[in-house]
Structure 1
Protein backbone atom coordinates (compact mmCIF):
# COMPACT_ATOMS: atom_id res chain seq x y z
CA UNK A 1 0.00 0.00 0.00
CA UNK A 2 1.30 3.43 -0.88
CA UNK A 3 0.35 6.68 0.77
CA UNK A 4 -1.66 9.47 -0.77
CA UNK A 5 0.12 12.84 -0.91
CA UNK A 6 -2.11 14.09 1.93
CA UNK A 7 -1.29 11.10 4.14
CA UNK A 8 2.43 11.40 3.44
CA UNK A 9 2.32 15.12 4.30
CA UNK A 10 0.47 14.41 7.56
CA UNK A 11 2.91 11.66 8.58
CA UNK A 12 5.91 13.84 7.75
CA UNK A 13 4.45 16.68 9.83
CA UNK A 14 3.95 14.36 12.82
CA UNK A 15 7.47 12.93 12.45
CA UNK A 16 9.11 16.37 12.15
CA UNK A 17 9.38 16.84 15.93
CA UNK A 18 10.16 13.20 16.77
CA UNK A 19 13.59 12.07 17.87
CA UNK A 20 15.13 8.90 16.37
CA UNK A 21 14.04 5.83 18.34
CA UNK A 22 16.47 3.43 16.65
CA UNK A 23 20.05 4.07 15.56
CA UNK A 24 21.64 1.60 13.17
CA UNK A 25 25.43 1.50 13.47
CA UNK A 26 28.23 -0.31 11.70
CA UNK A 27 26.91 -3.79 12.59
CA UNK A 28 23.73 -3.21 10.59
CA UNK A 29 20.50 -5.02 11.41
CA UNK A 30 21.24 -7.35 14.30
CA UNK A 31 18.71 -9.62 15.96
CA UNK A 32 18.49 -7.36 19.02
CA UNK A 33 18.00 -4.29 16.86
CA UNK A 34 15.24 -6.06 14.93
CA UNK A 35 13.48 -6.93 18.19
CA UNK A 36 13.75 -3.34 19.42
CA UNK A 37 12.46 -2.07 16.07
CA UNK A 38 9.46 -4.40 16.31
CA UNK A 39 8.71 -3.18 19.84
CA UNK A 40 9.06 0.49 18.84
CA UNK A 41 6.75 0.07 15.84
CA UNK A 42 4.18 -1.80 17.95
CA UNK A 43 4.21 0.95 20.56
CA UNK A 44 4.58 4.11 18.47
CA UNK A 45 3.49 3.10 14.92
CA UNK A 46 5.37 6.04 13.33
CA UNK A 47 9.07 6.31 14.18
CA UNK A 48 12.31 7.91 13.04
CA UNK A 49 15.36 5.75 12.44
CA UNK A 50 18.92 7.04 12.14
CA UNK A 51 21.36 5.15 9.92
CA UNK A 52 25.00 5.92 10.75
CA UNK A 53 26.42 4.75 7.39
CA UNK A 54 28.07 7.42 5.25
CA UNK A 55 27.40 5.58 1.97
CA UNK A 56 24.10 6.58 0.35
CA UNK A 57 23.52 3.25 -1.39
CA UNK A 58 24.25 1.35 1.83
CA UNK A 59 21.71 3.51 3.71
CA UNK A 60 19.06 2.86 1.07
CA UNK A 61 19.75 -0.89 1.23
CA UNK A 62 19.48 -0.83 5.04
CA UNK A 63 16.18 1.09 4.87
CA UNK A 64 14.78 -1.39 2.33
CA UNK A 65 15.83 -4.34 4.51
CA UNK A 66 14.44 -2.59 7.60
CA UNK A 67 11.04 -2.16 5.98
CA UNK A 68 11.03 -5.70 4.60
CA UNK A 69 11.89 -7.41 7.91
CA UNK A 70 9.56 -5.27 10.04
CA UNK A 71 6.61 -5.07 7.66
CA UNK A 72 6.75 -1.27 7.84
CA UNK A 73 6.44 1.27 5.06
CA UNK A 74 8.85 4.07 4.29
CA UNK A 75 7.26 7.51 4.67
CA UNK A 76 10.33 9.65 4.08
CA UNK A 77 14.10 9.36 3.86
CA UNK A 78 16.34 12.40 4.16
CA UNK A 79 20.08 11.99 4.61
CA UNK A 80 20.73 9.64 7.51
CA UNK A 81 17.13 9.76 8.81
CA UNK A 82 14.21 7.60 7.74
CA UNK A 83 10.60 7.80 8.88
CA UNK A 84 8.75 4.49 8.83
CA UNK A 85 5.20 3.49 9.67
CA UNK A 86 3.53 0.25 10.67
CA UNK A 87 -0.05 0.42 11.91
CA UNK A 88 -0.82 -1.44 15.13
CA UNK A 89 -3.88 -3.65 15.46
CA UNK A 90 -4.73 -2.10 18.83
CA UNK A 91 -2.81 1.19 19.14
CA UNK A 92 -2.05 2.42 22.64
CA UNK A 93 -3.40 6.00 22.83
CA UNK A 94 -0.65 6.98 25.28
CA UNK A 95 2.21 5.70 23.07
CA UNK A 96 1.02 5.94 19.47
CA UNK A 97 2.52 8.96 17.70
CA UNK A 98 -0.36 8.89 15.20
CA UNK A 99 -3.03 9.22 17.90
CA UNK A 100 -1.13 11.62 20.16
CA UNK A 101 -0.21 14.05 17.39
CA UNK A 102 -3.22 13.87 15.09
CA UNK A 103 -5.04 17.14 14.66
Structure 2
Protein backbone atom coordinates (compact mmCIF):
# COMPACT_ATOMS: atom_id res chain seq x y z
CA UNK A 1 0.00 0.00 0.00
CA UNK A 2 1.53 3.30 -1.10
CA UNK A 3 0.53 5.97 1.40
CA UNK A 4 -0.98 9.28 0.30
CA UNK A 5 -0.56 12.57 2.15
CA UNK A 6 -3.89 12.33 3.97
CA UNK A 7 -3.08 8.80 5.11
CA UNK A 8 0.33 9.85 6.39
CA UNK A 9 -1.21 12.74 8.34
CA UNK A 10 -3.71 10.34 9.90
CA UNK A 11 -0.93 7.94 10.95
CA UNK A 12 1.18 10.77 12.36
CA UNK A 13 -1.77 11.92 14.45
CA UNK A 14 -2.25 8.39 15.81
CA UNK A 15 1.46 8.15 16.67
CA UNK A 16 1.63 11.53 18.37
CA UNK A 17 1.45 10.10 21.90
CA UNK A 18 3.30 6.86 21.22
CA UNK A 19 6.70 6.12 22.68
CA UNK A 20 9.43 4.31 20.73
CA UNK A 21 9.41 0.59 21.44
CA UNK A 22 12.67 -0.26 19.65
CA UNK A 23 16.02 1.44 19.57
CA UNK A 24 19.23 1.17 17.59
CA UNK A 25 22.35 1.29 19.71
CA UNK A 26 25.98 0.25 19.64
CA UNK A 27 25.14 -3.17 18.21
CA UNK A 28 23.91 -1.52 15.01
CA UNK A 29 21.61 -3.15 12.51
CA UNK A 30 21.28 -6.85 11.81
CA UNK A 31 18.67 -9.26 10.52
CA UNK A 32 17.64 -10.39 14.01
CA UNK A 33 16.80 -6.80 14.99
CA UNK A 34 14.83 -6.33 11.76
CA UNK A 35 12.91 -9.58 12.34
CA UNK A 36 11.84 -8.33 15.77
CA UNK A 37 10.78 -4.97 14.31
CA UNK A 38 8.80 -6.72 11.55
CA UNK A 39 7.05 -8.88 14.15
CA UNK A 40 6.12 -5.83 16.23
CA UNK A 41 4.86 -3.92 13.17
CA UNK A 42 2.83 -6.95 12.12
CA UNK A 43 1.14 -7.00 15.53
CA UNK A 44 0.67 -3.25 16.02
CA UNK A 45 0.78 -1.88 12.44
CA UNK A 46 2.32 1.40 13.64
CA UNK A 47 5.46 1.74 15.77
CA UNK A 48 8.21 4.20 16.56
CA UNK A 49 11.89 3.38 16.76
CA UNK A 50 14.62 5.52 18.23
CA UNK A 51 18.29 5.82 17.28
CA UNK A 52 20.46 6.28 20.36
CA UNK A 53 23.21 8.88 20.47
CA UNK A 54 25.83 6.16 20.91
CA UNK A 55 24.74 4.30 17.77
CA UNK A 56 27.27 3.77 15.00
CA UNK A 57 24.56 4.40 12.37
CA UNK A 58 22.52 7.46 11.50
CA UNK A 59 18.92 7.94 10.38
CA UNK A 60 19.77 7.54 6.69
CA UNK A 61 21.46 4.18 7.34
CA UNK A 62 18.48 2.87 9.31
CA UNK A 63 15.98 4.04 6.67
CA UNK A 64 18.01 2.43 3.90
CA UNK A 65 18.40 -0.84 5.84
CA UNK A 66 14.65 -1.09 6.53
CA UNK A 67 13.61 -0.16 2.98
CA UNK A 68 16.02 -2.63 1.35
CA UNK A 69 15.31 -5.59 3.61
CA UNK A 70 11.57 -5.37 4.35
CA UNK A 71 8.26 -4.07 3.06
CA UNK A 72 7.73 -1.74 6.04
CA UNK A 73 6.92 1.84 5.08
CA UNK A 74 8.59 4.76 6.78
CA UNK A 75 5.90 7.35 7.43
CA UNK A 76 8.05 10.04 9.03
CA UNK A 77 11.41 10.81 10.57
CA UNK A 78 11.79 13.39 13.30
CA UNK A 79 15.34 13.83 14.49
CA UNK A 80 16.45 10.36 15.52
CA UNK A 81 12.96 8.85 15.65
CA UNK A 82 11.32 6.93 12.81
CA UNK A 83 7.63 6.14 12.43
CA UNK A 84 6.98 2.80 10.71
CA UNK A 85 3.76 1.37 9.25
CA UNK A 86 2.79 -1.91 7.65
CA UNK A 87 -0.58 -3.55 7.13
CA UNK A 88 -0.85 -6.55 9.43
CA UNK A 89 -0.97 -10.03 7.93
CA UNK A 90 -3.33 -11.05 10.77
CA UNK A 91 -6.95 -10.02 10.30
CA UNK A 92 -7.42 -9.65 14.06
CA UNK A 93 -4.66 -7.02 14.20
CA UNK A 94 -5.92 -4.91 11.31
CA UNK A 95 -7.38 -1.82 12.90
CA UNK A 96 -5.36 1.10 11.63
CA UNK A 97 -4.92 -0.26 8.12
CA UNK A 98 -8.71 -0.46 7.68
CA UNK A 99 -9.04 3.19 8.70
CA UNK A 100 -6.09 4.18 6.49
CA UNK A 101 -7.49 2.43 3.43
CA UNK A 102 -10.84 4.23 3.92
CA UNK A 103 -9.14 7.64 3.61
Misfit runs of 4+, over 3 Å: none
- Deviation, 1:30, is 2.5
Check conservation: 2:46, 2:85, Cα contact below 8 A.
yes
Check conservation: 1:67, 1:84, Cα contact below 8 A.
no
Note the 1:10-89 alignment, pairs <5 A.
10-53=10-53, 58-89=58-89
- Can you give the 5+ residue segments of structure 2 that lack an aligned partner in the other structure? none
Instruction: State the TM-score, normalizing by the size of structure 2.
Output: 0.78
Instruction: State the TM-score, normalizing by the size of structure 1.
Output: 0.78
Aligned residues: 98
Check conservation: 1:14, 1:97, Cα contact below 8 A.
no
